[in-house]
Amino acid sequence: MIHVYMDDYRRAPEGFTLARTTEECLLMLRECEVGVLSLDYDMGPDDEAGGFVAKRIVLEALFPREIYLHTSSVSGRKEMFELLYPARPEATLVHNGPVPIAKLREIVSGAAGL
């Protein structure tokens, strides 16, 4: 199982695999078991926005176990949350904010219980 951090600019926290593009992120969701997914919204001028990934997750049923929205875009966070939260399966948690420090520590220690 992997944890994916989608961002075109920031580096991934320890314990996460970095997806620099929306296509990289979707490939990982399609090909790997993803425990935690953390999404940015603004992915640069040559890429789709995080809302595109949120739509594909819903349409293709690519839900990981947990989703966090670390974007600094208030409208982008709202768009992704409003797409993901109502469509999520019961087993998926959707958080309207970044991964908390305690969760990051859990992932690094391998005790994430996912």
Q: What is the pLDDT of residues 57-112, one digit of tens each?
A: 999 999 999 999 999 999 999 999 999 999 999 999 999 999 999 999 999 998 65
Q: What is the pLDDT of residues 4-57, one digit of tens each?
A: 999 999 999 999 999 999 999 999 999 999 999 999 999 999 999 999 999 999
Distance CA 55, CA 81 (A): 11
CA dist 100 to 13, 36, 68, Å?
11, 12, 9
Contact (Cβ atoms closer than 8 angstroms) between residue 56 and residue 26: yes
CA dist 7 to 16, 22, 35, 70, 78, Å?
11, 9, 17, 9, 17
pLDDT at residue 114 above 60? Answer: no
| Tokens 């049923």 -> residue | 61
Amino acid 110: pLDDT: 82
Residues in the chain: 114
| Tokens 């875009």 -> residue | 73
Which domains are delineated in the chain?
2-109 (3.40.50.2300)
Amino acid 111: pLDDT: 62
Contact (Cβ atoms closer than 8 angstroms) between residue 54 and residue 83: yes
